[in-house]
Every structure is written in C-alpha cells, then in structure tokens.
A and B are shown apart, each in its own frame.
Chain A
Amino acid sequence: MSSTAETIQKKTEATNGANVSLWLRQISAILRLELKKNFFGKRSLLVYLLAMMPIGLLIMVETINPLGRETAQLPTVFSIFYNSLILRTVVFFGCAWIFMNLFRGEIVDRSLHYYFLSSVRREVLVTGKYVSGLLTSVILFSTVTVVCMLIVFFSHFYSSSTRFFFDGPGFSQLFWYVAITILACVGYGAFFLVVGLFVRNPIIPALMLYGWEWINFLLPPLLKKISVIHYLNSLVPVPVSEGPFAVVAEPTPAWISIPGLLIVTALVLILAGTRIHRMEIRYGSD
C-alpha cells in the first residue's frame, strides 16, 4: 500500500477507538445548525402556525362555549380533541413539514453538498438530522399537548381539575398523551424523512398516508396494523368510539406497540441511510 493511503488508513485506525466520540461530536455539530434552522429558519413559521392552531382554537371555544359541562366529561372531550386535531392533524402535518425539509429543504436551497463534502459518514448525517427533527417536533408538539390539556381542564373547573390531576388519573393521562405525541413524532418523523429523500414532491405521499390513517377505523384488523395511528390509538388513556361503521380490532398492548413502532422506525432509518449513501447531488434535476 502506498504512503498516502497508508497514512489515511493509520489515521482511521487510530481514530477507530474514538469513532463513537467523533460521531457524537459530528451529530452534536449537525444538531446545532439544524435546530437553529428548525426553530428560527424561514420554514419554521408554518410549524408555529400549525402548533398554535389547537391552542388558539381551544382558547376561542372555551371563551365562547366551554367544551365540557362537568369535570367528568373532560377526559373524553380532550381525548376526542387530541385524537382528531392534535395527533392526526397538527402532529402529522407538523412532522411532515419538519422532517421532509431536513433533506428536501436543503436540496431546494442547494446547500446539501456542504454536508456531503464533509468528512462525515452519511449515516451519521441522517442520524443527526433525524434527531434534530425529533427534538424540534417533540418540544413543539408535547408543549401543545400539555397546554391544550391544561386549557381544557383548568379554564372552567379549576378546583375539580386540580383534584383530577393531583388525586386522580390526570397526570397519568397527561403522561400518556405526551408519550403518544413523542411516539408519533418518532414514527411519522422517520417516514417523512425517507419520503423527503426518495420523492421529489413529498406532498402526495404525505396526503396518501393522511388518508390511510384517517380511514384506519374502517380497515380490517390486519390492514389496521400497517399504520402508525393503530399503535398510537392502542395507547390512548381514554378510548373513544370511532363511530358505528368502525371495524373493531383488539388494541395492541403497549409492550408490543411501543417496541414495534421503534423497530419499524429503526428499519425505516436504515433505509434512509442506504438511500443517502447512494445519493447524488444534482440540484438542477431536483
């Protein structure tokens, strides 16, 4: 072997032990820039508007006509609100926007090549970007979940809601709603990250998945399992009826749904790693 290649190999060997430390440093550097872009970049405005939507809507409704007439109704009221608006709309489209733009946005801005021209494994890049998207979406949408639940409970029934949280199942329910939000960000995030890598116009697959998730209650039990929402619904602390036409399926237990979702996410991220490893920079054709 010649001297240059040998030197590089030695360099690599020398750093092999410190590879994890190097990758962590690189991920941290990627996180720093990506979080800045996610929270303060030109594309963040849409996510903020989306996140503010349920809060604004709740404040408006609670001011005009409170959602529940008594404390006992509030868990169901919030469950319906969470399921239909926060989870299926805000978290879904919020994740779509954040994660698709991690790579697609850079292609549009013609800045992805700077990463590709750095001495960083592309798999490390995928990890850094995914974690940045995850942190952004979890911070935003968990906050939305908590704030919305507090508004629903505390806007009119302060003393009974206090009892519900401190002496009843309130905190446990809040924990599960936040956990579902985080899992939704994990699952949808991985899906949309890959979509952003494979598809030039990711809106179409996003809408297709949106439709699939919405008709999930009509699907036969086997098909229900090929979705993110089925596993998340299984975790909802206050189940709500899906209507007279819903096909009833046994909810998947948490010990299956949570690791299952994480395993599928890991597989999807491996697919993203494979894809980005072969990716070319051809901004003109993108």
Chain B
Amino acid sequence: MTPPITQSTSTTASFLAPTAERPTIASSSPDKMIVFEDVSKFYGEVLGVNRVSLQIAPGITSLVGPNGSGKTTLMNLMTGLLRPTRGSIRVLGLSPNDSEAIFQELGYCSQFDSFPRGATAREFIEFYLRVHGHRKQETRELAQQALERVSMVEAADRKISAFSKGMRQRIRLAQSIAHNPSVLVLDEPLNGLDPMVRAETIALFKQLAADGLHLIISSHILHEVDMMSDRVVLLNNGYVVAEGEIQGVRDDMDIEHPVQVLIRCNRPAALAAQMFGKTEVIEARLHDDRQGLFVKTRNPDQFYLSLNEVVAQGEISVESIAPVDDDLSAVYDYLIGAQ
C-alpha cells in the first residue's frame, strides 16, 4: 500500500513554509505597533527586564519564559502600571503614561485576582465602563457584549466572591475587552480555565487577532502558545533571548541545534544506510521500536529532496515524516530549559 505521504508532505510544507506571506514586523508602520526601545526596568537593585527592544505587530504575540523572567514586568510597562528605568515605550504611537488616551485603545487582563467587595460580575464590568466615561445605555450594551463573549451571561448577576477561579478569570477578561480595545494584554489568561472554556477562549483570541487586534499573551503552557501564536518573545532572567515567528526562531537555531525529523517506514535500517551518504544529513539513528528513523539535518530543503529521491526508487515505503523539534517546546528547551 502506498504510504500516506500527503500528510507527511503537508507537514514538511508547513515546516518549510515561507514567512514572506505573513505580516512581518518590518512591513508595519511604527504607529500600528507596540515599540520597546532599549527598555530596562530595575526594582531597586533587582533586574526586571534589561535592554529590551521589540516591535510587536498586530496578531497574537506570546511572551514565554520561566517565572521571574520578566513577562509580567513587560506587560506592566506597556500598560503604564510601571515606568521604565531607561528607554521608551510607544503603544500605537501613544505613551503608556497618557492613561486617558491609551486606555481607549488598550485593555489589560492582569493576574491580580481581586475585585471590589460585594460586586456582581455585571456591576464590576459596568462600573469600570462608567469610569471610562461611557454613558448608561452604552455601558449596559458593552457589558452585555463582553459577558456574552466570555460565556458568562448566566452568572452575570451573581456576586464575584462566589465564583470559581476560572470564572473570575473570565470576568477579568470580559472587563478588559468590554470597551473594545485595539490592543489586548493578557497575563496568563488561560490559568484556571477548564479544557472546554480554554478552547473557547483560544478561539476568541484567534477571532480577535483575525479582526486586526494586537494580543500580547503570557503563558506557561507551551503547546497552547504554539497553537495560537503568530509570534513569540522568549524571555529569561529579564532578557529577550529570542523573538519572532516560532518557525523563524527555530530556523535561526539550525547551526547549534540541527532540525530533527522522524521518518516512519517499513525498512528504517535500509533508509538509514542510504541517508548516511547524503552530505546534508548529520546523524541518522534508529527509533527504539525499530519502526522509524531519526535524522538530523542542517539543510532541511535538501534533505527532503533527497528523501523524495530515495522514496521514488520504490524500495522503501514511508508512512509518515514529522519534524520532532520544530515546535515552541523544543525551542524553549534549547534556549531556556538547558540553563
């Protein structure tokens, strides 16, 4: 039987997908971006973030890093809750210090799990919409829309103090999106959510990003970041260690960490013998179950061409081809996990 190469090919294509078609950072004007210019923040003598220069375009950008790496500091800096010790920040051309202007365009769902005492979910959202300056009728409509977006309409008139952690998280999210901002900053927004709501929330983020919003999300759950992000910013000890599209970041690491591909086939040993002869292959190793072969290469394009040639000879039947270390988890392990 012919191996289902179509799927493998599509994986390969994705792995090698050109990045030119996607919106790139350089193609956007600075006033449509969030720009950090050589930003440092120190808490006394303790480093928050150091010499961060970033340009974040619309879409979903995830901040990834271990605890204390500076993710929340970056978010607090771009929302004006903190002031940089050095450098400057512009959000859509606006200074975070100009709270009246910037929060017409920006919503921040922080990690602070606190609410006004005795307030219901609806009261909480409506109250801060009134502080924004919205009139009564408009406030009601916006609050209702926000509650619908996070599927909290049924619980809207219950006191927040009786809510579970996940429900409180969704109410904070609703509050941050209620005034329809263009930039949404979300600090660990999936924390405490059950799998169903998590999936709904990710879908909401993708929808918002598709609508042209900036979403800056911090998360510890790498496969979810991988699934929803257009770009990542990897942070460690207050420094940006890598940034860009996940695939681009992975590609940049080829020299130190060659791409590893798992090929499932009927004769892995024979395939290994053939692949050893190719100059682009650095290493070929049989899988423990002897049903597959791991190949390391620094030239994936050439490798896939060579593999096609071998498969075309008809002696080896390939079931699947899958890169095993081109996801965020691998990138994270290579850049941060090892430290």
Which residues in window 53-102 of B have CB below 8 A to A? 76, 79-83, 92-94, 97, 99-102
Q: Which of B82, B100, B127, B133 is in CB contact (< 8 Å) with A25?
A: B133
B188 within 8 A of A: no
Assess whether B15 is interfacial by the CB under 8 Å rule.
Answer: no
A280 to B42, CA, bound (A): 13
Which residues in window 95-119 of B have CB below 8 A to A?
97, 99-105, 107-108, 110, 112, 114-118
Asked whether, in the complex, the Cβ of B31 is within 8 Å of the Cβ of A11, the reply is no
Contact of A118 among B105, B116, B118, B128 (CB under 8 A): B128
Asked whether, in the complex, the Cβ of A33 is within 8 Å of the Cβ of B116, the reply is: yes
Tell me how far the C-beta of B67 lies from the nearest C-beta in chain A, rounded to whole angstroms.
13
Whether the Cβ atoms of B100 and A113 lie closer than 8 Å is: no
Stretch at the interface among A2-10, A55-63, A154-162, A199-207: A2-10
Cα of A235 to Cα of B176 in the assembled complex, Å: 50
C-alpha gap A210/B32 in the complex (Å): 54
Contacting residue for B182 out of A4, A29, A37, CB 8 A: A4
- In the complex, what residues of A have CB within 8 A of residue B29's CB? 2
- List of B residues within 8 angstroms of A37 by Cβ: 116-117
Q: Is the CB of B81 within 8 A of A113?
A: yes
Is there a chain A Cβ closer than 8 Å to B131's Cβ? yes
| Given known contacts A26-B131, A30-B131, A11 and B104 CB-to-CB distance under 8 angstroms | yes
For the complex formed, measure the closest distance between the CB of B193 and the CB atoms of chain A, giving whole angstroms.
21
Flag whether A65 is at the interface (Cβ < 8 A): no
Which residues A108-124 have CB closer than 8 A to chain B? Answer: 109-111, 113-122
- The answer for the CA separation of A12 and B94 in the assembled complex, in Å, is 12
> Interface digits, B106-143 against A, CB 8 Å rule (1 contact, 0 not)?
01101010111110000000011011110100000000
The number of inter-chain residue pairs (CB within 8 angstroms) is 111
Interface residues of A in 8-32 (CB under 8 A from B): 8, 11-12, 22, 25-26, 28-30, 32
Are B81 and A122 closer than 8 Å at their CB atoms? no
Interface flag for B179 (CB, 8 Å): yes
Q: Which residues of A in the span 239-282 have a Cβ within 8 Å of any Cβ on B?
A: 277-278, 280-282
Alpha-carbon gap, A2 to B108, bound state (A): 23
Task: Tell me whether B130 and A25 are in contact (CB under 8 A).
Answer: yes
> Distance in Å from the Cβ of A13 to the closest Cβ of chain B?
11
**Partner of A115 from B30, B118, B131 at Cβ < 8 Å:** B131
Sampled A-B contacts (20; CB under 8 Å) = A2-B29, A4-B32, A4-B92, A8-B104, A12-B100, A12-B101, A26-B131, A26-B132, A26-B133, A28-B130, A29-B127, A33-B127, A37-B116, A111-B115, A113-B112, A117-B79, A119-B99, A119-B102, A119-B104, A282-B82
By a beta-carbon cutoff of 8 Å, the part of chain B in contact with chain A is 29-32, 43, 76, 79-83, 92-94, 97, 99-105, 107-108, 110, 112, 114-118, 127-128, 130-133, 135, 175-176, 179, 182
